[in-house]
Chain A
Amino acid sequence: MKFVAIIRQVPDSESRLKIDGGKVDLSGATLILDQMDEYAVEEVIRLQEKHGGESVIVALGPERFEEAVRTALAMGTDRAVHLVQEGYLDPISQAQALAEVLREEAPDVVITGGQQADWDSQALGPAVAEALGWPVVAWTTALELEDGKAKAKHDLDEGAEVVRVGLPAVFTTQQGLNEPRYPTLPGIMKAKRKELKKVPVSAASKVEVLEQTIQERTRLNKVLDGTKDPQGAASELVRLLHEEAKVI
């Protein structure tokens, strides 16, 4: 069987972002394999360990993504395909470009993050599924394969459900799916020699990003001492929320 994880490289959430010329400037930010995509990488490795076959990383993004692709290879996947495109490409257009590669790869299972930490989009997995005509299971917390089908548990708006889908199918990850492993030193050494095929793409984006800004709300920072007189502090807080903020 063949298992594919689609990944992105994103700034670490602790990293400070800056804006330059109306756009986010990532120079100086620590860039990592997206944490939701990390669950996808872990899951394809586990599926391969259990069912045999091949685990493949697919990424679409600028040259710098290579570092995250190598991380995913170091975790234990077999090889990678990197569609190289600089600049912004919206998830729907990405799905179209990715579907071409995925049709060729013909995997049984495709997994990607439920939402990635750069574009805060949840669209990639469902759009890829649509492009391929395969079913999608979003926000997956458990996945197993049996008799050529997949049984998965996934989150809904409220609650969760267990579903069965035929393969091939697309899944997006949710926290709880697994505990991603750390790359080992031998893993990192091996990853350097693993196949990483780069394919240049030049797709047109359907969405244009006009401007990015960082608007930090000025907060009031009215902090009361509740260590000596919790009742007094609590009454004062409720009064402030009622009379000043008018939110309760």
Chain B
Amino acid sequence: MILVVLEHDGARLRKGALEAVTRARQLSALGAVSGVVIGENLGAVAEEARRYVGTVYVAEVGGYTAEKWAAAAYAAAQKAGARVVIATGGRQSRSWSAKLAYKLGAALLEDTLETSTDGSRVVATRYSFLNRVTEKQAAGLPVVITAKPNTTPLAEPQGEGSVESLSVEAPAAQVEVLERVVEQKKGVSLTEATVVVTGGRGLGSPEAFAGVEQLADLLGGAVGATRAVVDAGWRPYGEQVGQTGKTVQPGAYIALAVSGAVQHQAGMNKSKYIVAVNKDAEAPIFKIADYGIVGDVHQVLPALLEAAKKLKD
């Protein structure tokens, strides 16, 4: 049996959940696919989830802590008799999935690009060494797999599964949440976006990010930022792309006034197309760019906005 932990935003399944379902179906030699949704007020997401998997376990455990999520996924895996557990690899799932792997005595294949099986082992590819090396790993069962976002086609609905509520034992180790600072973000999340528009220090001011936001909006993308910009307090950590921020691989990564330090490249160098705008023709970003403009971002960005608007009209 394969268990998919279906990520959701409270109302709908996330894109990543549907990627994880595809991954599970690709491993169908290892068993049928069931799923679990974890959180609170799960009625709607459970209804949606049953269109994708045979059985949906519903774990009403309240707000997020890694401990509760690991305990719920563990309970679901036990109930389903799952020897394979798959989730999407966000920051949170990469925390609780490690705990889950330990609980199950399972191997962990983390942040994988693709996964396959010969019927006994799972072979996965993933990046290592700051995204510079592609690594092929193998592990026997039981195994916990996290799938890197934006790597897998979204699953189509298939049949009508059953819904079963799951009782989860409260974890011994408790984390008390005092305050949650949710970044109000409109549009798509950074790691799931097919277009990312990132601004660097060269933009000169936090106000200049209005143009970056507009371009991202026009292209249906998300805003990214460099470490320098985040350190300067211009943008929140949640938008940071790079070694200590998020790793993205969108269809188009548009870097505006970003020099392209190695640490930044670690977060975006696997993007399908890289686009750079920089006034310095020698900036490292141009070495890894598919398309680029050498020029002043304060002139080029308004022109890009105009051209993108024309395209959309």
Digitize A220-243: 1 where CB-to-B-CB distance is under 8 Å, 0 elsewhere: 111111110011011101111110
B264-289: contact bitstring with A at CB < 8 Å (1 yes, 0 no)?
Answer: 00100110111111000100001111
- Binary contact track A178-192/B, C-beta < 8 Å → 1, others 0: 000000000000000
How near does chain A come to B282, taking the closest CB pair, in angstroms? 11
In the docked arrangement, what's the CA distance between A219 and B260, Å?
15
CB-defined contacts of B137 to chain A, threshold 8 Å = 207-210
Q: Is the CB of B128 within 8 A of A119?
A: yes
Within 8 A of B (CB), among A1-40: 11, 13-14, 17, 19, 24, 35-36
B138 CB contacts on chain A under 8 angstroms = 207-208, 210
Answer yes or no: B111 CB below 8 A from chain A CBs.
yes
In whole angstroms, how far apart are the Cα atoms of A134 and B175 in the complex? Answer: 10
Smallest beta-carbon distance B254→chain A, Å: 9
For residue A102, give the distance in angstroms from its CB to the closest CB of chain B.
Answer: 14
- Output the nearest chain A residue to B242 by Cβ-Cβ distance: A175
Would you call B91 and A122 a contact (CB within 8 A)? yes
B164-203 Cβ-contact flags toward A at 8 Å (1 or 0): 0000000011111111111101000100001100000000
Interface residue from B91, B219, B295 paired with A138 (Cβ < 8 Å): B91
Across-interface contacts of A220 in B (CB, < 8 A): 289-291
Give the number of residues in A that approach B within 8 Å (Cβ atoms): 88
Q: Residues of B contacting A174 with CB < 8 Å?
A: 237, 244
**Closest B residue by C-beta to A230:** B299
Find A90's partner among B107, B231, B272, B288 (CB 8 Å cutoff): B107
CB contacts between A and B, total, < 8 Å: 293
Task: Output the least CB separation between B63 and chain A (Å).
Answer: 9
- Partner-binding segment picked from B28-36, B40-48, B50-58, B301-309: B301-309
- Residues from chain A with Cβ under 8 Å of B176 in the complex: 163-165
Contact: A161 with B180, CB < 8 Å? yes
Which B residues lie within 8 Å of A230 (CB)?
293, 295-296, 299-300, 303
Which chain B residues in 125-154 approach chain A with CB under 8 Å? 126-140
Q: Could you tell me the distance between the alpha carbons of A208 and B134 in the complex, rounded to whole angstroms?
A: 14
* A145 interface residue per 8 A CB criterion: no
| Contacting pair B133 A213 (CB below 8 A) | yes
Q: Mark B222-261, 1 if CB is under 8 A from A, else 0.
A: 0000010001000001101001110000011000000000
Is A155 at the interface (CB under 8 A from chain B)? yes
Q: Is the interface of A mostly helix, strand, loop or mixed?
A: mixed
List residues 73-98 of chain A with CB under 8 A from any CB of chain B. 90-92, 95-96
Q: Whose C-beta in chain B lies nearest to the C-beta of A123?
A: B98
Binary contact track A94-132/B, C-beta < 8 Å → 1, others 0: 011000000000000000001101111111111101110
For A242, list chain B residues within 8 Å (CB): 311
- Given known contacts A220-B290, A234-B307, A247-B194, A156 and B64 CB-to-CB distance under 8 angstroms: yes
18 A-B Cβ contacts within 8 A?
A91-B110, A92-B98, A115-B244, A118-B129, A120-B129, A123-B101, A126-B99, A157-B91, A158-B189, A163-B178, A210-B138, A214-B133, A220-B291, A221-B287, A223-B294, A227-B294, A230-B296, A238-B307
Residues of A within 8 A of B (CB): 11, 13-14, 17, 19, 24, 35-36, 90-92, 95-96, 114-115, 117-127, 129-131, 133-139, 141, 151, 155-166, 169, 174-176, 206-215, 217, 219-227, 230-231, 233-235, 237-242, 245, 247-248
Task: Please give 14 more A-B residue pairs, beta carbons under 8 A apart, in addition to A174-B237, A226-B294.
Answer: A92-B108, A122-B94, A127-B99, A130-B70, A136-B66, A163-B177, A212-B136, A217-B288, A223-B286, A230-B299, A240-B291, A241-B252, A248-B252, A248-B311
